[in-house]
Amino acid sequence: MRKLFLIMVFLLFLSGCLQRWEMEKVEEFKVVKADEKNFRYFVTRLESGGYSYTPFLNIKKSPTPLTLESPASKGETPIVIERYSKTNVQVEGIDEGDIVKTDGRYIYFSPEADVKIMYHVYPSPWRRKTYIVEAFPPASAEVVGNISHGGILYLYNDTLIVIEGDKILGYNVSSPRNPRLKWKMDIEGTYVDSRLYSGKLYLVVRKEEIKYPLPWRDMKIKDYYIPILPPTVSYNFEGSYIVSSVDLDSGNISKVVALPGSRNTVVYMSENKIYLAYYLGPNIKRLYLNFIEENRERYFPEDVRNTLRHVIDSKYFSDDAKFLEVNRIVDNYLRTLNREEALNLRNTMEKDFQDYLEEHWEELEKTGIVGIDVDTFQVKSGSVPGRLINSYAMDEYRGYLRVATTVGDFWGYRDRSTNNIYVLKDLKVYGKLTGLARGERIYGVRFMGDVAYLVTYREKDPLFVIDLSDPRNPKLLGKLKIPGYSTYLHPIDSSRLIGVGRDERGMLKVSLFNVENKTNPVEVDRFILPKYWSPVLYNPHAFLWDGEKKVFVIPAGDSCYIFRIEGDRISLEMEDVHRGNVLRSLYINHYLYTLSNREIHIIDMEDWKVVKKVTIQEPREIWIWIKNN
């Protein structure tokens, strides 16, 4: 039993050793509105150990060309801005915060402070800033000002939002050279994520406490929701997640809800709902008790079976106590057998338990999903088997939520993992396609209308094409296996995808997939970069696609790689080298702007020459001397 016991111990560590909430027996994850009675019980479970609680760029043209008259050039030809790029976002029309924003004339950029500190000081006296660059026309581009706060940025009309650590600031930038603070809001928690939609900022904050009513920003959140878990899953609560909508003109909060959460929470927003997804790990104690209960007739004599039945059926002991006692009973019985008999029984039970877990994959681990209506903030909940890789694993389309998950990707069982697509209606499973790529896990997902593209990986890179036109019956149309994997997929039209990932040696790889024939996807071209890492691998904001020029840009280290697509071919147009790590890129008219911590390069896309370099900040090396008394 030693190996079996070690496997269970590991899974217990993974799951947080949680128990179900016994106020209500449920088969599926759901949340309910808190009141004094059920919240008191919920907190009691936290404190007693029944639960685990750990305190502690979319590309668009301007709707109409912008005509701007430069103050220094009255009487001359006015400046016309025909197009400029926006942040590469998951859902068109829903903005995501990033370190750079532009309105086509000015660039607002918030890089990290370029300081090499020779002796660590906390808090650092060198603050992050937001630099304001008059970017167009390129010949006169220069830094025209800065804001002494930096972080995640949003630009909405004449309002610049800066999310910095524990605060949010709103600036009037109608005169970009003279930004004026409109409002300031203390987050009073840890910033998690946000979206900007229809003139409102939707904010997700984590507060390291679980209380009801939850005190936050001089208010008490009475709309607090607590989870009810099915018996076979568990959850590691690490505080309260607060979802609110913020008025951009005043900084006032209009609506707010809260619920317990953890650091693995995934946030996705559609035009209709904000979704929070929570990983629910296996309650291995309950699963093991169920396994023994269902199989005790096979393994044990009558007296041992009766003893086990009395323990497992007891209404007076927790799963923790039952688990320990069942293990003691089994170990005592094994000691009565000779060496060969005990070894055979141990091996049989170990194999049977692994098979039992595989048969119960959908019970073993789940993702709980909470949907919050963006207008009313009404809350609904549901769940799917498995784990999500990131927000791109969720997509709402024509009233259905599509979700891609991996089940079983943890130590000891990775060769049995599977990948699945679930279609939810009103957050209940309506259709599904399961059992994809056994022994692999999801690395990249992209939903596009009635089609889902799924990349899994362990040794090869299978690209799956899945038909979702019938929500009740998703179907696998085609697949392709090639070395390496892609973590980010970017559709450039209905028949081609760009994939960014790594090859079998770990080098950066750019792939071009032709998916015109959905039953036979083909990697028509690839380019291997002489780098091992790019922010695009895990942050789509770093990727730029210019549909008009058929150009895409990938930063990697101190270089920015600029590619053109012609038909089914990828060609490298230019490698733009900076003095520091390149972070982002954008375009205004036919000029490409590449941004690093230290400078902005402006490139004419007609001849691919750098026409201007704008210094943002010079590196500083700070020596701090400490005088000994």
Q: How confident is the model at residue 114 (pLDDT cuts 50, 70, 90)?
A: low
* Tokens 């179900």 found at: 20
In this prediction, residue 42 has a pLDDT band, given cuts at 50, 70 and 90, of confident
Of the listed ranges 148-152, 233-237, 262-266, the least confidently predicted one is 233-237
Note the pLDDT of residue 313.
Answer: 93
In this structure, are residues 398 and 423 in contact, taking their beta carbons and an 8 Å threshold? Answer: no
pLDDT at 354: 85
> Residue 23: which pLDDT band, with cuts at 50, 70 and 90?
very low
- What pLDDT, on a 0 to 100 scale, did the predictor assign at position 262? 83
List, for residues 268-315, the tens digit of each pLDDT value.
999 999 999 989 888 888 889 999 999 999 999 999 999 999 999 998
pLDDT at 412: 59
Give yes or no for residue 105 having a pLDDT over 70. yes
Percent of the chain scoring above 90 in pLDDT? 69
pLDDT at 236: 74
**Cα–Cα distance measured from residue 398 to residue 449, given in angstroms and rounded to the nearest whole number:** 9
Q: Rounded mean pLDDT of 76-97?
A: 92
So what's the pLDDT on residue 344?
96
Q: What is the pLDDT of residue 495?
A: 96
Residue pair 455/466 in contact by the 8 Å Cβ criterion: no
Mean pLDDT for 619-623 is 61
- The pLDDT value recorded for residue 629 is 46
358 vs 140 pLDDT, higher one? 140
What percent of the chain has pLDDT above 70?
85
Non-local CB neighbours of 462 within 8 Å, separated by 6+ positions: 437, 440, 455, 456, 479, 480, 481
pTM summary value: 0.88
| Longest Cα–Cα distance in the chain | 102
pLDDT of residue 157: 95
Residue 219 reports pLDDT greater than 60: yes
Residue 235's pLDDT is 72
What is the tens place of the pLDDT at every residue in 415-460?
Answer: 778 999 999 999 999 999 999 998 899 999 999 999 999 999 876 6
Specify whether the CB–CB gap between 480 and 523 falls below 8 A.
yes
Query: What integer pLDDT is reported at residue 112 of this predicted model?
Result: 83
- What is the average per-residue pLDDT within 253-282? 93
Distance CA 564, CA 581 (A): 22
Specify which of 57-71, 166-180, 309-323 reaches the highest per-range mean pLDDT. 166-180
Question: 35 pLDDT band (50/70/90 cuts)?
Answer: confident
Banded pLDDT at 46 (limits 50, 70, 90): low
SS3 143: strand
Q: How far is CA 147 from CA 52, 126, 128, 586, in A?
A: 42, 13, 9, 21
Average pLDDT of the segment spanning 467-492 = 96
Residue 109 has pLDDT above 50, yes or no: yes
For 10, the token pair is 């590991």
Burial class of residue 399 (count of CB atoms within 10 Å of its CB; 0-12, 13-18, 19+):
exposed
pLDDT at 234 over 90: no
pLDDT at 75: 52
Sorted by where each starts, the structural domains of the chain and their CATH numbers stand as 1-56+208-255+281-365 (no CATH), 399-405+412-622 (2.130.10.10)
Going by pLDDT thresholds of 50, 70 and 90, the confidence category of residue 71 is: very low
Query: β-strand 115-117 against 620-622: which pairing, if any?
Result: parallel
- Judged against a pLDDT cut of 90, whether residue 122 lies above it is answered with no
349 confidence band (pLDDT: 50, 70, 90): very high
pLDDT band for position 18 (50/70/90)?
Answer: very low
Mean residue pLDDT of the chain comes to: 88
Which of 261, 212, 234 lies closest to 320 in space, CA to CA? Answer: 234
pLDDT(121) > 60: no
Is the pLDDT score of 610 beyond 80?
A: yes
Band (352; pLDDT cuts 50, 70, 90): very high
pLDDT at 45: 67
